[in-house]
């Protein structure tokens, strides 16, 4: 089971995000999926909400690529530490494309039931991304 959960987590990052195959999420994300991500402006609930969240970020970083750094799995839980790299080629909410490259780290903890991801808790370096995009004022950067 633990190996299957790790494989599921990796497949989500590879197939849905890196290959930008949103239809692959239908086989890996539960219909009642809930994501807890305090940094995300998108309310991600259900399979369509998940796809909307993916589209939001792929619109902003069309060449994003996730790398799995570490994974730990026990019972229904899988923890994935990842790095994402990409170029800011589209709007990120109210932030117009900057053309800048980013490299951001994060950790996602997921709960798997019946071979699908049903719930996730994600924390990632949003401040670092904003600094790399150059959208923080010098005062805000010094305070950070």
Distances (CA, A) of 92 to 12, 104, 107: 22, 15, 21
Question: Per-residue confidence at 44, pLDDT binned at 50, 70, 90?
Answer: confident
Residues in the chain: 144
Q: What is the pLDDT of residue 136?
A: 83
Reported pTM: 0.90
67 three-state secondary structure: strand
Q: How many domains in the chain? A: 1
> pLDDT per residue over 52-93, tens digit each?
999 999 999 999 999 999 999 999 999 999 999 999 999 999
Element holding 119 (H helix, E strand): strand 116-124
- Distance between alpha carbon 65 and the CA centroid of its chain, in Å? 10
Measure the CA dihedral 134/137/142/144, to 10°.
-70
Show the domain range for 95: 2-143
> pLDDT per residue over 26-41, tens digit each?
999 999 999 999 888 7
Q: What CATH number does the domain containing 91 carry?
A: 3.10.450.50
Average of per-residue pLDDT values in the chain: 92
């Amino acid at each position: 089971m633990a190996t299957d959960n790790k494989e599921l987590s990796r497949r989500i990052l590879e197939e849905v995000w890196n290959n930008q195959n949103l239809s692959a999420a239908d086989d890996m994300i539960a219909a009642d999926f809930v994501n807890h991500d305090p940094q995300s402006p998108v309310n991600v609930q259900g399979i369509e909400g998940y796809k909307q969240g993916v589209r939001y970020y792929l619109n902003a970083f069309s060449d994003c690529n996730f790398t799995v750094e570490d994974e730990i799995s026990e019972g229904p839980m899988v923890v994935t530490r990842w790095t994402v790299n990409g170029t800011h080629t589209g709007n990120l909410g109210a932030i117009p494309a900057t053309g800048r490259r980013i490299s951001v780290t994060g950790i996602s903890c997921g709960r798997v039931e019946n071979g699908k991801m049903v719930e996730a808790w994600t924390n990632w370096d949003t401040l670092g991304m904003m600094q790399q995009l150059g959208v923080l004022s010098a005062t805000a950067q010094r305070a950070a």
